[in-house]
Structure 1
């Protein structure tokens, strides 16, 4: 907590991984607060990809909902050829180093998306305007918007089908984008006063977890937790993740990774206990939750 600030009152349990139309969700930031209120969720973290652009709208929607907002971001990183995501809670949104890095990531995402569409258009009727039509103004455009454009054109049934085929990472249309390595990202988040938690680290199964020696380096740099209770973490990986959390003194979080209609994940289907939420808030110096 920043020096001179008062302790934050207890927030309750929280869904610590939620996306809006600022990145690849289908629900506007303000409407996420209304949905959380209807679902009886005490708090949510807005964690759009590489962007804090939804914070202001979400914060303004908090009063009267009974739902607390934990401002955050999901930062793109890359370990070799593997994409690794880092949840960054309560960062300083004006931190210059983090702003520069996220701007670089978003620009690379944009040029990557344009190249993917160019490649796809050689075999399918798809244009860049089709993709833009699927994104909210100012959104960080990425593969989910291309997937939505493919659905709208009738080339695939839904986002899942697009990612299983045309947009699969091994597809001939695939194209990587720039992202820092996880160690650099953890250091950036800490320097911005934020609290870094490794997002859905078990989606590829127990045999594809981040190597223990690499995890140890992230912990030394300031990694605070592992997102274990996530709908896409494989069941066999969760016990090992809990063991690693115990060994390295990391907190274990739970969240939905809600994207509205963009995924089948349900808002609040996994949540983080109040005592862990309180530890994350107490650890942060970059910003504070917005209370109802």
Structure 2
């Protein structure tokens, strides 16, 4: 049986609950041949991965998931096979991290106005090595007894339109594509059927994305076939993965199930080599 690849996985360095080494062990157990850690706006997992990867017979390709905005719509862009030490990337990720902390402080301030007391230190402890995100604030609300679940926290306070919502740092698709190009990476549109209209999809293709995520838990077989046709028509790389976080009921059963052929890695590497900057 030919080994396959999961190119969409999150760890404790963003909003996942597993360490990079735990992910590697899971990948071996699932008989995967390759993985990419695609943490949100972070490549910190690779500092750990490179120290331990020689213990596992798993190929690792660098990855990240950028949170972008286009026409006031949040869109996620995956990047692969890039230089994690690129100076402009490092600067951008530091900017994002600081912006997340500012955002957290603003959410805390809004919560205080409705008599909900949280502080940045306790949220930072929950986040651990990861940048602070809304799920970490939701966990703090649970710990303090203000809500009983993440869903309740978002429905009452943290989602768009709710009293304590605070928008993310505005990073456009154009900026993301320019940054990925500067890092010699490959840009892939994440789970397009989940958030993106057909019109937006074709606009993004015209903007220069290199691939689309065809295989994803949010996309059924019919959608997969449709996206594969689009990828073939526009010479895009068809990628995929489990979008594993570890915190959702279905995560463990999805790991090893949502994969792509090993040949997709070679397509990514070949596109890097053929690109003219």
Output aligned runs, 1:215-254, within 5 Å.
215-219=204-208, 223-233=209-219, 237-254=223-240
Separation of aligned partners in 1, 2:74 and 2:199: 11
Tell whether the 8 Å contact from 1:30 to 1:60 is kept in structure 2 after alignment.
Answer: no
Does residue 40 in structure 1 map to residue 31 in structure 2? yes
- Partner residue of 2:126 out of 120, 123, 134: 134
User: Aligned-pair distance for 1:79?
Assistant: 0.6
Asked whether the equivalents of residues 26 and 262 of structure 1 are also in contact (C-alpha less than 8 Å), the reply is no
Aligned residues of 1:225 and 1:251 also touching (Cα < 8 A): yes
Q: 1:197 to 1:154 in 2, by over 3 A?
A: same
Cα shift at 1:193: 0.9
- Number of residue pairs aligned between Structure 1 and Structure 2: 269
1:57, distance to aligned residue in structure 2 (A): 0.7
Q: Which secondary structure does the structure 2 equivalent of 1:45 belong to?
A: strand
CA distance in 2, matches of 1:118, 1:87: 32
Is the aligned partner of 1:186 residue 2:177? yes
Describe the superposition over 1:137-166 as per-residue Cα deviations: whole angstroms up to 9, x where unpaired.
3x2111121122223233333334433443
TM-score w.r.t. the length of structure 2 is 0.87
The alignment status of 1:270 with 2:261, answered yes or no, reads no
The aligned runs of 1:1-292 (5 Å cut-off) are: 12-123=3-114, 124-137=116-129, 139-204=130-195, 208-209=197-198, 211-219=200-208, 223-233=209-219, 237-261=223-247, 264-266=250-252, 267-284=255-272
Gap regions ≥5 residues in structure 1: 1-10, 286-292
* Higher relative contact order, structure no. (Cα contacts within 8 Å, ≥ 6 residues apart): 1
| CA 1:235–1:131: 2 relative to 1, 3 Å | farther
Q: Is the 8 A contact 1:166 1:173 kept in 2?
A: yes
Q: State the shift of 1:134 in Å.
A: 0.9
Q: CA 1:171–1:235 in 2, change beyond 3 Å: closer, same or farther?
A: farther
Segments of structure 2 that go 5 or more residues without pairing to the other structure are: none
Tell me, what secondary structure is at the counterpart of 2:56?
A: coil
State TM-score, norm by structure 1: 0.82
Maintained 8 Å contact 1:202/1:237: yes
SS state at 2:194 partner: coil
**Residue 193 of structure 2: SS of its match in structure 1?**
coil
